Amino acid sequence: MAGRRGTGSEGVRAPVSSGTAQLRPDRDRRRGWTLLLDGTPQSHVDLDDPAHLEFSYVRRLGHVADLAAPPRQPLRALHLGGGAFTLARYVAATRPRSSQQVVELDGPLVELVRQELPLDRSWRVRVRTGDARDVVGRLRPGTFDLVVLDVFAGARTPAHLASAEFLNAVAGVLAPTGTYTANLTDGGTLAFTRAQVATLQAVFPHSCLVAEPAVLRGRRFGNLMLVGGRE
Protein backbone atom coordinates (compact mmCIF):
# COMPACT_ATOMS: atom_id res chain seq x y z
CA MET A 1 0.00 0.00 0.00
CA ALA A 2 1.33 3.45 -0.90
CA GLY A 3 2.67 5.37 2.07
CA ARG A 4 2.93 2.42 4.44
CA ARG A 5 5.49 3.06 7.17
CA GLY A 6 6.00 -0.48 8.39
CA THR A 7 4.77 -3.78 9.70
CA GLY A 8 5.90 -6.08 12.47
CA SER A 9 4.86 -7.45 15.83
CA GLU A 10 2.86 -4.27 16.46
CA GLY A 11 0.94 -4.74 13.23
CA VAL A 12 0.67 -2.15 10.45
CA ARG A 13 1.30 1.59 10.64
CA ALA A 14 0.45 4.01 7.85
CA PRO A 15 -0.14 7.73 7.35
CA VAL A 16 -3.76 8.59 6.61
CA SER A 17 -5.59 11.88 6.14
CA SER A 18 -6.58 12.09 9.81
CA GLY A 19 -3.12 11.27 11.21
CA THR A 20 -1.29 7.99 11.71
CA ALA A 21 -3.28 4.78 11.62
CA GLN A 22 -2.16 1.58 13.29
CA LEU A 23 -3.67 -1.87 13.03
CA ARG A 24 -2.57 -3.70 16.16
CA PRO A 25 -3.11 -7.48 16.51
CA ASP A 26 -5.27 -8.69 19.40
CA ARG A 27 -3.26 -11.17 21.44
CA ASP A 28 -6.42 -12.79 22.81
CA ARG A 29 -8.16 -13.34 19.47
CA ARG A 30 -6.37 -15.12 16.63
CA ARG A 31 -7.56 -12.77 13.88
CA GLY A 32 -8.58 -9.84 16.01
CA TRP A 33 -7.33 -6.33 15.24
CA THR A 34 -7.64 -2.90 16.83
CA LEU A 35 -7.55 0.23 14.70
CA LEU A 36 -5.85 3.20 16.38
CA LEU A 37 -5.60 6.75 15.07
CA ASP A 38 -2.72 8.74 16.53
CA GLY A 39 -2.56 6.18 19.33
CA THR A 40 -6.25 6.29 20.28
CA PRO A 41 -8.29 3.08 19.80
CA GLN A 42 -11.07 3.62 17.26
CA SER A 43 -12.36 0.21 16.17
CA HIS A 44 -11.92 -3.48 16.85
CA VAL A 45 -12.50 -6.26 14.32
CA ASP A 46 -12.38 -10.04 14.61
CA LEU A 47 -12.11 -11.46 11.09
CA ASP A 48 -13.07 -14.92 12.37
CA ASP A 49 -16.11 -13.64 14.29
CA PRO A 50 -17.55 -10.40 12.86
CA ALA A 51 -20.43 -10.62 15.35
CA HIS A 52 -17.95 -10.01 18.20
CA LEU A 53 -18.12 -6.39 19.38
CA GLU A 54 -15.20 -5.59 21.67
CA PHE A 55 -15.94 -1.97 22.60
CA SER A 56 -18.89 -1.28 24.90
CA TYR A 57 -20.22 1.67 22.88
CA VAL A 58 -20.18 -0.43 19.70
CA ARG A 59 -22.12 -3.14 21.52
CA ARG A 60 -24.78 -0.53 22.26
CA LEU A 61 -24.93 0.38 18.58
CA GLY A 62 -25.20 -3.33 17.87
CA HIS A 63 -28.18 -3.55 20.23
CA VAL A 64 -29.91 -0.82 18.21
CA ALA A 65 -29.23 -2.75 14.99
CA ASP A 66 -30.64 -5.87 16.68
CA LEU A 67 -33.87 -4.03 17.49
CA ALA A 68 -34.23 -2.22 14.15
CA ALA A 69 -36.08 -5.21 12.63
CA PRO A 70 -37.05 -8.79 13.53
CA PRO A 71 -34.06 -11.15 13.97
CA ARG A 72 -32.24 -12.19 10.78
CA GLN A 73 -34.34 -9.87 8.64
CA PRO A 74 -32.09 -7.98 6.18
CA LEU A 75 -31.57 -4.28 6.80
CA ARG A 76 -30.83 -1.39 4.50
CA ALA A 77 -28.19 0.33 6.60
CA LEU A 78 -26.18 3.54 6.18
CA HIS A 79 -23.04 3.96 8.29
CA LEU A 80 -21.74 7.52 8.46
CA GLY A 81 -18.17 7.10 9.63
CA GLY A 82 -16.26 4.01 8.64
CA GLY A 83 -13.38 3.19 10.95
CA ALA A 84 -12.71 -0.52 10.42
CA PHE A 85 -16.34 -1.12 9.28
CA THR A 86 -17.04 -2.95 12.55
CA LEU A 87 -20.80 -2.42 12.72
CA ALA A 88 -21.28 -3.07 9.00
CA ARG A 89 -19.51 -6.42 9.49
CA TYR A 90 -21.77 -7.16 12.46
CA VAL A 91 -24.96 -6.42 10.52
CA ALA A 92 -23.74 -8.50 7.57
CA ALA A 93 -23.03 -11.45 9.87
CA THR A 94 -26.23 -11.26 11.94
CA ARG A 95 -28.57 -10.22 9.13
CA PRO A 96 -27.54 -11.97 5.90
CA ARG A 97 -28.51 -10.28 2.61
CA SER A 98 -28.52 -6.85 4.22
CA SER A 99 -27.69 -4.00 1.85
CA GLN A 100 -25.29 -1.49 3.41
CA GLN A 101 -23.36 1.67 2.59
CA VAL A 102 -20.39 2.94 4.59
CA VAL A 103 -19.31 6.57 4.19
CA GLU A 104 -15.81 7.56 5.35
CA LEU A 105 -14.10 10.88 4.69
CA ASP A 106 -10.54 9.53 5.06
CA GLY A 107 -9.70 7.83 1.75
CA PRO A 108 -6.29 6.45 2.76
CA LEU A 109 -7.88 4.93 5.88
CA VAL A 110 -10.47 3.19 3.71
CA GLU A 111 -7.67 1.84 1.52
CA LEU A 112 -5.74 0.56 4.54
CA VAL A 113 -8.74 -1.22 6.06
CA ARG A 114 -9.83 -2.69 2.75
CA GLN A 115 -6.37 -4.13 2.16
CA GLU A 116 -5.51 -5.38 5.63
CA LEU A 117 -8.99 -6.27 6.97
CA PRO A 118 -10.93 -7.17 3.81
CA LEU A 119 -14.69 -7.51 3.83
CA ASP A 120 -16.27 -10.83 2.94
CA ARG A 121 -16.99 -10.73 -0.79
CA SER A 122 -20.44 -12.23 -0.26
CA TRP A 123 -21.54 -9.24 1.84
CA ARG A 124 -23.50 -6.46 0.18
CA VAL A 125 -21.44 -3.63 1.66
CA ARG A 126 -20.55 -0.61 -0.45
CA VAL A 127 -17.82 1.67 0.91
CA ARG A 128 -17.61 5.19 -0.46
CA THR A 129 -15.24 8.05 0.36
CA GLY A 130 -16.83 11.41 1.06
CA ASP A 131 -18.32 13.81 3.59
CA ALA A 132 -21.32 12.36 5.42
CA ARG A 133 -23.45 15.50 4.97
CA ASP A 134 -22.79 15.68 1.23
CA VAL A 135 -23.57 12.00 0.72
CA VAL A 136 -26.81 12.12 2.70
CA GLY A 137 -27.94 15.07 0.60
CA ARG A 138 -27.62 12.99 -2.58
CA LEU A 139 -29.46 9.87 -1.39
CA ARG A 140 -33.00 8.96 -2.37
CA PRO A 141 -35.73 9.54 0.23
CA GLY A 142 -36.89 6.59 2.32
CA THR A 143 -33.91 4.43 1.35
CA PHE A 144 -32.68 3.11 4.72
CA ASP A 145 -33.99 1.17 7.70
CA LEU A 146 -31.03 2.17 9.88
CA VAL A 147 -28.69 5.18 9.83
CA VAL A 148 -25.68 5.18 12.18
CA LEU A 149 -23.62 8.33 12.82
CA ASP A 150 -20.16 7.73 14.29
CA VAL A 151 -18.02 10.61 13.04
CA PHE A 152 -15.54 12.67 15.04
CA ALA A 153 -13.20 15.59 14.56
CA GLY A 154 -10.95 15.15 17.54
CA ALA A 155 -13.26 14.25 20.43
CA ARG A 156 -16.39 15.91 19.04
CA THR A 157 -18.98 15.34 16.35
CA PRO A 158 -18.32 17.90 13.57
CA ALA A 159 -20.66 20.90 13.76
CA HIS A 160 -22.19 20.33 10.32
CA LEU A 161 -23.25 16.84 11.47
CA ALA A 162 -24.80 18.13 14.69
CA SER A 163 -27.31 20.57 13.19
CA ALA A 164 -31.07 20.34 12.82
CA GLU A 165 -30.59 20.71 9.06
CA PHE A 166 -28.44 17.59 8.94
CA LEU A 167 -30.80 15.58 11.14
CA ASN A 168 -33.75 16.54 8.95
CA ALA A 169 -31.78 15.33 5.94
CA VAL A 170 -31.14 12.02 7.72
CA ALA A 171 -34.84 11.71 8.56
CA GLY A 172 -35.58 12.16 4.88
CA VAL A 173 -33.52 9.14 3.81
CA LEU A 174 -35.02 6.90 6.52
CA ALA A 175 -37.96 4.63 5.80
CA PRO A 176 -41.09 5.47 7.85
CA THR A 177 -40.20 2.70 10.33
CA GLY A 178 -36.46 3.47 10.21
CA THR A 179 -34.12 4.09 13.13
CA TYR A 180 -31.41 6.71 13.57
CA THR A 181 -28.62 6.31 16.11
CA ALA A 182 -25.58 8.46 16.85
CA ASN A 183 -22.48 7.94 18.98
CA LEU A 184 -21.47 11.08 20.90
CA THR A 185 -18.79 11.87 23.45
CA ASP A 186 -19.24 14.37 26.26
CA GLY A 187 -18.61 15.03 29.94
CA GLY A 188 -19.16 17.50 32.76
CA THR A 189 -22.48 19.33 32.37
CA LEU A 190 -23.18 17.46 29.09
CA ALA A 191 -23.98 20.74 27.36
CA PHE A 192 -23.30 19.32 23.89
CA THR A 193 -25.41 16.23 24.56
CA ARG A 194 -28.30 18.30 25.90
CA ALA A 195 -28.29 20.34 22.71
CA GLN A 196 -28.20 17.19 20.59
CA VAL A 197 -31.10 15.67 22.53
CA ALA A 198 -33.16 18.83 21.91
CA THR A 199 -32.35 18.64 18.20
CA LEU A 200 -33.24 14.94 18.09
CA GLN A 201 -36.58 15.55 19.80
CA ALA A 202 -37.39 18.34 17.36
CA VAL A 203 -37.01 15.94 14.41
CA PHE A 204 -38.17 12.56 15.73
CA PRO A 205 -41.29 11.98 17.88
CA HIS A 206 -39.57 9.11 19.70
CA SER A 207 -36.08 9.37 21.16
CA CYS A 208 -33.75 7.74 23.65
CA LEU A 209 -30.40 8.52 25.30
CA VAL A 210 -28.16 5.68 26.51
CA ALA A 211 -24.93 5.99 28.52
CA GLU A 212 -23.13 4.65 31.55
CA PRO A 213 -24.30 6.23 34.84
CA ALA A 214 -20.92 7.86 35.52
CA VAL A 215 -21.07 9.68 32.18
CA LEU A 216 -24.70 10.74 32.65
CA ARG A 217 -23.82 12.15 36.06
CA GLY A 218 -20.92 14.14 34.65
CA ARG A 219 -18.30 12.26 36.63
CA ARG A 220 -16.24 11.32 33.59
CA PHE A 221 -15.93 11.93 29.87
CA GLY A 222 -17.31 9.10 27.76
CA ASN A 223 -19.63 7.83 25.04
CA LEU A 224 -23.36 8.49 24.87
CA MET A 225 -25.76 7.11 22.30
CA LEU A 226 -28.80 8.81 20.81
CA VAL A 227 -31.62 6.86 19.18
CA GLY A 228 -34.54 8.36 17.28
CA GLY A 229 -37.41 7.26 15.08
CA ARG A 230 -40.94 8.03 13.95
CA GLU A 231 -42.33 4.93 15.64
Strand 40-46 versus strand 32-37 pairing type: antiparallel
Please give the Cα distance from 2 to 15 (Å, whole number): 9
pLDDT tens-digit profile of 31-72? 999 999 999 999 999 999 999 999 999 999 999 999 999 999
Choice among 16-25, 149-158, 208-217 with the minimum mean pLDDT: 149-158
Domain ranges in the chain?
50-229
pLDDT value at 6 more than 60? no
CATH class, 50-229 region: alpha beta
* Confidence tier at 5 by pLDDT (50, 70, 90): very low
pLDDT value at 153 more than 90? no
The Cα-based distances of 85 to 53, 94, 116, 126, 220 in angstroms read 12, 14, 12, 11, 27
**For range 105-133, the mean pLDDT:** 97
**For range 186-192, the mean pLDDT:** 95
The pLDDT mean for the chain works out to: 94
**For range 117-128, the mean pLDDT:** 97
pLDDT value at 156 more than 90? no
pLDDT of residue 161: 95
- Residue 105 φ/ψ, nearest 5 degrees: -70, -35
Grouping H, G, I as helix, E, B as strand and the rest as coil, residue 93 is helix
Q: What is the pTM of this model?
A: 0.93
pLDDT tens-digit profile of 170-187? 999 999 999 999 999 999
pLDDT of residue 9: 57
pLDDT of residue 106: 96
Do 162 and 199 contact (CB within 8 A), yes or no?
yes
Do 205 and 230 contact (CB within 8 A), yes or no?
yes
How many CB atoms are located within 10 Å of the residue 155 CB?
Answer: 10
Question: How wide is the angle at C-alpha 224 spanned by C-alphas 25 and 168, nearest 5°?
Answer: 110
